[in-house]
Chains A and B, each alone.
Chain A
């Protein structure tokens, strides 16, 4: 394999970045769509085909059309896609209002900060084991060069992920402050306190896999957690997984911890004054963060990103078994989808904590528990590995 020149390296990285951005912009709308579908089923909502198919004009026509889709076996699951498309169009076309007294530069930069920090995390997450694809030999400039599954296979991947993810909170705090309005300010204050608090147990709960696997590289850590230990990594880390999950919910501002935007208290929290695509960026960032949390959970706790869960591969199923014997990106996708479903499931089930209760959950319960869990991991590392 030829060593790529600097130009070739940059081109390949850009291609990878493009792929990640495409991934993000495919996954997020699908998650939004899935959220509506799943919540619709959980809450037995009547969809637009039931309530609006009698309407005149475009609305009624589209809804009658969607009603007919329902008869087509596979397509029937995709009823409601026009609503999603309309939503995205609305976000893009809506007037972008900037309040007169807002700090315009900060107001402008805040959603970008949220969005960028959410996307950049993916640099250290590899989606596909090893080589994703190789450019054909006739391809100009980069012909014959492999494109690996992750952008940056750095040895401090987890640090990168945690560091960049915590920049996202600035987006929210600055948005709340720059709006120069009272409800966003309260939302910003809440999120500052909440996200800083939950960062601590989140980081500690992720330290346990680091201790167990003696690595900070995403790929190495996840593989060792799945098959590198004499047992499946989740077994001693079940508590860590639950702590991680709770903190993940809090970090992504999802119910039951959606303090910063608690719509019934603070109208819309930090993004009250945002409209159009600036609001859309916050919206995107939230769902990307959900995907990140899901990806990390899949990687570290659910048995490696590309492997079957329960340590099946390597321990029970030999590598020679076709398809399920080998690592595969599909397993990663399935695990992410499962985690995203859990998010929606929780949202449909439980109410919201009060702000002070959220803080006491973090400081009184999660941090001590996370420390105990870290100690447990250290003991396991000492005596069982």
Chain B
């Protein structure tokens, strides 16, 4: 007699398309996924606990190492959460530079997403094209703060240094060529029959489910919810920027692809506006040598490329360290939607689902 058995299989932790050390426990009926549970923690370093034993200034270094693809966005959230805790006003020029770098970082992060997502689906060329443009952004990171990936770009209270001379030229050059690069990717993918077959209707996540699971970022916006913290609760210089929040209602992988591509366009617009309206002035507020907390607790959320990244800080009166530090990492919460998206699909679909969630395990495991 034939036995009808389900096969249990581990996708990861060493697997080409789990974007790091994610392990997904799958139960397969043939190639159909009947059960899917993400297992995390392979990259756990205890970032939050470490930060509690360091001064407020030192903690930022650890935020680089959470979502290493969007270090600047993490830095921004950390810096602003601390500024909220200590009631520091950041000079306007610093705000503009922060906004600009943050948007560059969004481009870099989305390019990584596009590259790996396309590679997962088999479009190898887009991978290398996207990395080519990301290289320019990393060069700009290097010009600004000396390091390419783990930037530690900002300081609590502003910036360590102003933009380096010649930075405008780099930005102008990049902005001049970037739209044509985006067009190149879209030529390869947007109307490609195979790309559409692999993404349209795949890994759906309805708006209700997304809200119930706490999913944010492009995944939520592709389900039709126009929630973008840059618009909803403006921070840095976003209140002065003119940009749109792209949304789609299909809530599938293809819609998320379109949303992110449009976000890249909007990011380029914001960078242009930052360049045009860059105010003069100092870039650092006057701060004491050691910050000692006054307010008890803050929660500050910013829109990281992957979704809402929130920093929860509790200060102890008179102490130079945070008493409690917690990160609401967008990747961690978005990943919880994976079973909903993948169950009932095929193995190839879970690869697309992981790609479209745009996870970075450094941030999920912290």
> Which residues of A line the B interface, CB within 8 A?
39, 42-45, 182-183, 186, 190, 255-256, 258, 262-267, 347-357
Contact = CB atoms under 8 A, between A and B. Distances in A.
A141 to B, nearest CB: 52
B351 to A, nearest CB: 5
A182 B7 contact: yes
Interface string B20-39: 00000000000100000000
Greatest chain A CB density within 10 A among B124, B347, B349, B351 is at: B124
B252 to A, nearest CB: 14
Contacts of B17: 264-265
Given A262-B348, A264-B120, A350 B129 contact: no
A354 B346 contact: yes
A265 B124 contact: no
Given A43-B128, A44-B132, A263-B16, A351 B348 contact: no
Greatest chain A CB density within 10 A among B15, B17, B123, B348 is at: B348
Contacts of A348: 124-125
Greatest chain B CB density within 10 A among A263, A265, A267, A348 is at: A265
Contacts of B15: 267
B121 interface: yes
B119 to A, nearest CB: 7
Interface of B: 7, 9, 15-17, 31, 118-125, 127-129, 132, 188-189, 192, 194-195, 197-198, 346-349, 351
Greatest chain A CB density within 10 A among B17, B122, B127, B192 is at: B122
A186 B9 CA distance: 10
**What secondary structure prevails in chain A residues at the interface with B?**
helix
A356 B346 contact: yes
B348 A350 contact: no
A262 B119 CA distance: 11
Given A182-B9, A351-B118, A351-B123, A265 B128 contact: no
Contacts of A347: 124
A356 B118 CA distance: 19
Contact of A350 (B31, B120, B132, B194): B194
A266 B346 CA distance: 12
Given A267-B16, A351-B194, A352-B194, A44 B128 contact: yes
A355 B132 contact: no
A179 B122 CA distance: 25
A255 B122 contact: yes
A355 B346 contact: yes
A45 B131 CA distance: 10
A262 B347 CA distance: 11
A329 B170 CA distance: 54
A262 B122 contact: yes
B346 A351 contact: no
Contacts of B346: 354-356
Contacts of B9: 182-183, 186
